[in-house]
Amino acid sequence: DVKVTQSSRYLVKRTGEKVFLECVQDMDHENMFWYRQDPGLGLRLIYFSYDVKMKEKGDIPEGYSVSREKKERFSLILESASTNQTSMYLCASNLQGAQFNTGELFFGEGSRLTVL
Amino acid sequence: QKEVEQNSGPLSVPEGAIASLNCTYSDRGSQSFFWYRQYSGKSPELIMFIYSNGDKEDGRFTAQLNKASQYVSLLIRDSQPSDSATYLCAVNGRNFNKFYFGSGTKLNVKP
């Protein structure tokens, strides 16, 4: 079974703190993604990476950065956490797609971040 | 305009009925379309994908795609209480490796 593991299920941080969210996948997937999920807004793509050290901005990259030093690991960094970054963060991975990508994103369990 | 639109619901159907979930998308270049199910407190899981116009059936689930109308739907026949979840429509755009999600439709199946 594909496994995507997020390092922390629940975090509580203070405004201005630096936050690291880590994600590891064990299926040698090229693509890795960070989404945030908020009620009524669905999943919104923050960043994705299609190879080691390669990244592309999603729809809401402001306030976030990412790091992919190894194929299996994709980290999301909040340089200075703010209250509007309180959310559920979901990491996902999949194989690099051809035109008709089967689209199965494999998700981690999620990290619920609260910024006070 | 959002890339993918869904009614948030909740959609309530009695057990055994057909549940119909709908989704529209804005990018005519979209190639593939997906339905994910997300139980409360859990991560989304893929239940169906479709990329050709028409219907695709898998057990009690049927996905329908109409590219001319930019519309995709999911029918769940013989709905069960265990189908109660939020259903997320997702589309991959011109960059085949990027996926856009709707906000999800919450389905309640009443025993």
> What are the pLDDT digits (tens) for A18-39?
999 999 999 888 899 999 999 8
Q: How confident is the model over B46-100, as pLDDT tens digits?
A: 999 998 899 999 999 999 999 999 999 999 999 999 999 999 999 987 666 778 8
What's the gap in Å between the CA of B46 and the closest CA on chain A? Answer: 6
d(CA B23, CA A114): 31
Q: Is B39 on the interface with A (CB under 8 A)?
A: no
Distance in Å, alpha carbon of A1 to nearest chain B alpha carbon: 13
Per-residue pLDDT, B92: 84
Q: Which residues of B touch A74 (CB under 8 A)?
A: none
How far is B3 from A106, CA to CA, in rounded Å?
Answer: 21
Helix, strand, coil percentages (3-state) for chain A, rounded to 5, are 5, 55, 45
Parallel/antiparallel/unpaired status of strands B71-76 and B19-25:
antiparallel
Residues of chain A with a CB closer than 8 angstroms to some CB in chain B: 31, 33, 35, 40-45, 48, 50, 56, 58, 90, 94, 96-105, 107-110
The verdict on a CB contact (< 8 Å) between A101 and B92 is yes
Alpha-carbon distance of B17 to A57, in angstroms, equals 42
B31 touching A, CB under 8 A? yes
**Average of per-residue pLDDT across A71-79:** 97
Least confident range of A10-14, A100-104, B31-35, B39-43: A100-104
Q: Evaluate if residue A98 carries a pLDDT over 80.
A: no
* A57 in Cβ contact with A48 (< 8 Å): no
Chain A contact probe: residue of B98, B100, B105 with most A CBs at under 10 A: B98
Determine the pLDDT at residue A79. 94
Question: What secondary structure, in 3-state letters, does A11-79 show?
Answer: EEECCCCCEEEEEEECCCCCEEEEEEEECCCEEEEEEEEEECCEEEECCCCCCCEEEEEECCEEEEEEC
Phi, psi torsion values for A60, nearest 5 degrees:
-135, 60
Q: Classify burial at A79, counting beta carbons within 10 Å of its beta carbon; exposed 0-12, middle 13-18, buried 19 or more.
A: exposed
